[in-house]
Structure 1
């Protein structure tokens, strides 16, 4: 794993490569603030060299300039921030630019000279970019290549500044949670199934000092978790429900986290016809909430957090649940199954019912739930639904953390679309219109009146089909930063 340290910007920078930032302006490429010492060490020719190789400063552009003996550092790496000001740097632009640079480098030692060296917020963004962009998933590679950068030094005004050191510590904790989520999403379903996933959650949770409870199929039956049992009934690997609880002294509020843990989604008897190879990522919400509650404990946030995580494999066999089946949920209510590929909301409903028995102050649920999210918002923007004020609060926290979220409505008039002739509710309608919103309305059915809650649909953002910014192809660790930011906001401001 790449190590990150702070060094004084007044000392000569020495490394295998130095990363600086560029900006796209109407007049062409420009050097962003922080690059001046590097330019001076090269005799003021860095900008001319960048223009000579037609650098533009656009986002995701990485240009390597050899110093040809003019500096003790053999390579300068210029990474584009996109259109903007050379002096005012947006943290997420910096995060993505540094991540792109780290994706283009391997091995050795790197120094980063970007922005105002006294800005702790920028320090955190740079560290995030380093640790997210340097991520590699090599577990199944016989000869891993390229290797992670060994060490990165961030140039700051005062390497002993408490604010910068705290920012670096927070970055390491949060990016570890993101990268662990990526590892889980990238792990194939022949290794990560409900049983092994639950074992991972227990091991990691107990190591972080959390209390952990794992319900097996017998306990699920005793507890009346008909949604989880119904979805998981077709798999040779039985379902699980995991509970991880962080209960600090003097907690200001309590938060329930729920995450969808479908370790593989074939669609069930309504077999998928496309994108099935990506369905190992259908547990991204579960991974995110597991890692988020562990991060909350490491950050020692004064807020009580319990993650309730349903895990199942939606498989095809003689014991698979069927279209037209009626499932009895934990609270005794019934659901008609119209389509077995709308399975996530069924296991989430059971988990939400269990979580609400603890009377939390807030509920945050996240899931790779609908193709409708992709249609409406694309591959990078999370759809946020729930109680209006809390939804907007979580959107603001996530936006501040650098993730893209968009608030969506839950129109009450759509509820009648989920009426069933044989049960209390049907899991999905026959048409595709407003499918993202209808999934949110289905989940709302299992939230007590008056509880502040939000549903975060990460169907697109959870898995990248191509590399960009700090993301490699594969699991992105989406929504972890948002959840941790929301927990931090609640810890600081309560209800």
Structure 2
């Protein structure tokens, strides 16, 4: 999508459609909406008076000027109650208006920046949210569809219109950041939505290499022989039944810059999770193509980090393998040796993601980072505990606080879980140093506690369990059904705020 900015009056724009807004309960619009209403002879006030438009959040009305304005259509989008309006409301309003415009066949859309006027939200922040909402709301996964004759084309050009020339620089900066972050999220969505016969460890690794070349990241693909030579026995225990060799993607932004703070992001990359020998039920098993959503988030976040040229050294690790059953696959009761040297007893091969992560977390220490953050579709217990509104986060308190703040800003929200020592009692093993699962009680937390045993000593670490956020089952304003791309905006926002 082409993103443009311009200084002028929205009512003067010659466009296929223009977008203005209205808060709930407003009877006489003012500002840009009032100017459009005046040009239309009070048509918006008439809609309000008749009760046909009330300004409720994400409500949309369409008006046809008939010569009163140079635009062919006017879309009025509701922002809800003014006292409850936030940056998230901007994203949703932008997405709602863009989808309605697409339904009408509009390919060139001009819009005011919601929230930057009476909403009192800073222009750069509002512009970023406008572009994020529009691009994310219009996202469709169509690369495998062959019959698109009756599908409306997407909006091709979005023009943000601002009356005050003094705000143009902030408008442009916000729009540019919003585009980078939204496109990185869409990249993650593509990787998640792609079926597992196409999104294999090798194809995801090659995609990451291609993306790295395009945005200026350093990329190295660690092959199975090196993984084995290093002693990543936990990681390889999952790959024993896989149809392809395990790989680990290593992406670096500002590689070699020892003068910059280093942060390592680790993303779980199970390209399909059958459960292995502890095989899953067949119902909804197709959804397990999303078990690499953590890796997709890390790859997307690193691409955005490079394009935004953040003043950090950022490393992304994406360990990749399938989890499949065959005669060589790991079995419940097996014991394997991790990169850290601890032996691990396997009780369920369907708790495989943590086995990849522990070796990747240990390996992350080789980069001598200030912090390590891992993200994974790890436990069904997270979905039970928190549902879809928030992922679980646990670990170092200061790092968790960073992630919570970034989550509130990006609306990729996280909620803290404790890591009390008592949870570790469930992980005792009679035959190994540690068992990799506990009981069903507190399963999200015991998984995190298990991971904590393999984090390099002295390095702040946080774990994000986003099991309920990988795939969206319901269509939301800027999150269509399918791969959500959760975590990209969260991680990028954390990194953008890193140096205060």
TM-score after normalising by structure 1? 0.93
1:458 aligns with 2:471: no
> Which residue, out of 33, 38, 50, partners 2:36?
38
Counterpart CA distance in 1 for 2:275 and 2:396 is 30
Structure 2 contact 9–32 (Cα < 8 Å) conserved: no
Partner of 1:95: 91
CA–CA distance in structure 1, aligned partners of residues 352 and 401 of structure 2: 27
Q: Which runs of no fewer than 5 residues in structure 1 stay unpaired?
A: none
Q: Is the 8 A contact 1:23 1:30 kept in 2?
A: no
1:301 aligns with 2:310: yes
Q: Residue 343 of structure 2 aligns with which residue?
A: 334
Query: 1:109 maps to what in 2?
Result: 108
Question: In the TM superposition, what is the alpha-carbon distance from 1:165 to its structure 2 partner?
Answer: 1.4
Provide the residue aligned with 2:406 in structure 1: 397
Q: Find 1:71's aligned residue among 69, 72, 79.
A: 69
Runs of 4+ in 1 over 6 A off after TM superposition: none
Partners of 2:145 and 2:187 in 1: CA distance: 18
Kindly indicate whether residue 449 of structure 2 is the aligned counterpart of residue 441 of structure 1: yes
Extract unaligned runs of 5+ from structure 2: none
Indicate which of 177, 183, 202 corresponds to 1:176: 183
Cα distance change, pair 250–231 in 1 and its aligned pair in 2 (3 A): closer
The structure-2 alpha-carbon separation of the partners of 1:333 and 1:165, relative to structure 1 and needing over 3 Å to count, comes to same
Q: Which residue of 1 aligns with 2:141?
A: 137
Structural mapping, 1:65-464, within 5 Å: 65-85=63-83, 89-106=85-102, 107-113=106-112, 114-116=114-116, 119-144=123-148, 145-156=151-162, 157-158=164-165, 161-247=168-254, 249=257, 251-273=259-281, 274-429=283-438, 431-464=439-472
Give RMSD over aligned pairs.
2.1
Deviation string 1:11-50 (CA, Å, 9 cap, x unpaired) is 612322222233334xx78869642232222122213225
- How far, CA to CA, are the matches of 2:213 and 2:359 in structure 1? 24
The separation in 1 between residues aligned to 2:176 and 2:491, in whole angstroms, is: 18
C-alpha deviations, 1:255-313, integer Å up to 9, x for none?
A: 01100001111111111124312111111110111121121111111110111110011
Per the alignment, do residues 288 and 225 of structure 1 end up closer, same or farther by CA in structure 2, a change over 3 Å counting? same
**Contact 2:107 2:153 (8 Å CA) reproduced:** no
In structure 2, the CA distance between the partners of 1:103 and 1:459, relative to structure 1 (3 Å rule), is: farther
Cα distance in 1 for residues equivalent to 2:238 and 2:45: 59
Seen in structure 2, the aligned counterparts of structure 1 residues 170 and 437 have a Cα distance that, compared at 3 Å, is same
Shift of the 148–251 alpha-carbon distance from structure 1 to 2, 3 Å rule, reads farther
Measured in 1, the distance between the counterparts of 2:400 and 2:49 equals: 45
Residue 467 of structure 1 corresponds to which residue in structure 2? 475
Residue in 2 aligned with 1:16?
Answer: 16
- Output the CA distance in 2 between the equivalents of 1:147 and 1:487: 35
Q: How does 1:56-67 map to 2 (within 5 A)?
A: 56-67=54-65
Is the CA contact 2:260–2:312 (under 8 Å) kept in the aligned structure 1? yes
Whether the aligned pair in 2 keeps the contact of 1:255 and 1:305 (CA below 8 Å) is yes
The structure-2 alpha-carbon separation of the partners of 1:314 and 1:47, relative to structure 1 and needing over 3 Å to count, comes to farther
User: How many pairs were matched up?
Assistant: 486
Determine helix, strand or coil for the equivalent of 1:189: coil
Q: Does the 8 Å contact 1:263/1:312 carry over to 2? A: yes
Report the CA distance between 1:99 and its aligned residue: 1.0
Distance 1:354 1:32 in 2: 58
**Equivalent residues of 2:263, 2:370 under 8 A apart:** yes
Between stretches 355-364 and 271-280, larger displacement belongs to: 271-280
User: Do the aligned residues in 2 keep the contact of 1:103 with 1:470 (CA within 8 Å)?
Assistant: no
Alpha carbons of structure 1 residues 51 and 277: separation in structure 2 relative to 1, 3 Å: farther
2:485 pairs with 1:486: no
Q: Partners in 2 of 1:128 and 1:33 — Cα distance?
A: 24
Shift of 1:321: 1.2
1:126-170 deviations in Å (ceiling 9; x for gaps) = 111111112221101113323210111111122883222111111
The answer to which of 206-215 and 314-323 deviates more is 206-215
Q: 1:29 to 1:261 in 2, by over 3 A?
A: farther
Q: Distance in 2 between matches of 1:335 and 1:71?
A: 70
Aligned residue for 1:4?
3
